[in-house]
Amino acid sequence: MTTRPTGELHQLMRAAGFTGIDDTETLAENWQVTDFADAGRRSLANLVEQTREPAVMVSFLDSDVGFIEALTPDGNSWEGLLNREMAKSYEIPLEHFPIEPAVAGALAWSAAAGLTPDEEAIRQTLTGSAPFATELSSALLVALGLPGAT
C-alpha cells in the first residue's frame, strides 16, 4: 500500500479493512509504503475515501505475481499486473490486464497525485519480468514518480 495519509496510517488502514499491517516506510513528501497481509474487497476505496489522498496497492501471489490497484479521491482508478511471464505459469488470463490502459491509468493517477511519472519506465514494469514481483513493484513506485522511492 502506498499513500499520503493525513492521519496515522496503520489505524486508517485497519478501519478501511486491511489486516496484518506491518512495516511502514516513509518516503519524501509524506508518502508512505506499508506492507499488509490481506485487504477486503473495498479496502482501497475505503482508505482513499478516509484520507482523501490517492493510493496504489499491490497484492502478491506467492511473491511471483503482483496485482496492482490504484485509486484517486475523484474516483479514477486503474489496474495492472506485474510479472506477466510468471502470471502465465499460474494460468492468469493476461487479456484481463491489458498494458496500454494500465499505462494510461498510471499516468493519470500520477498526474492526479501531483507526481511526475516516467511513461517508458511504467511500461517496462508492466511488461518486464523479475525473479520476484516485489522488484517490479519497487520499480513501479519509482516510475510513478513517488518522491524518495528506490
**pLDDT score of 83:** 98
Round to whole Å and give the CA distance between 129 and 114.
28
| Structural domains counted in the chain | 1
User: Given a cut of 80, is residue 5 above it in pLDDT?
Assistant: no
> In this structure, is residue 150 part of a structural domain?
no
Report yes or no on 67 lying in a domain. Answer: yes
Q: pLDDT (tens digit, 9 = 90+) per residue, 39-79? A: 999 999 999 999 999 999 999 999 999 999 999 999 999 99
Q: How many whole angstroms separate alpha carbon 95 and alpha carbon 43?
A: 25
Helix, strand, or coil (residue 80)? strand
Any idea of the CA torsion for 88, 71, 113, 63, to the nearest 10 degrees?
-30
Pairing of strands 38-39, 18-19: antiparallel
User: Is 149 inside any structural domain?
Assistant: no
Give domain status of residue 8, yes or no.
yes
Q: Which residues contact 120 (CB under 8 A, 6 or more apart)?
A: none
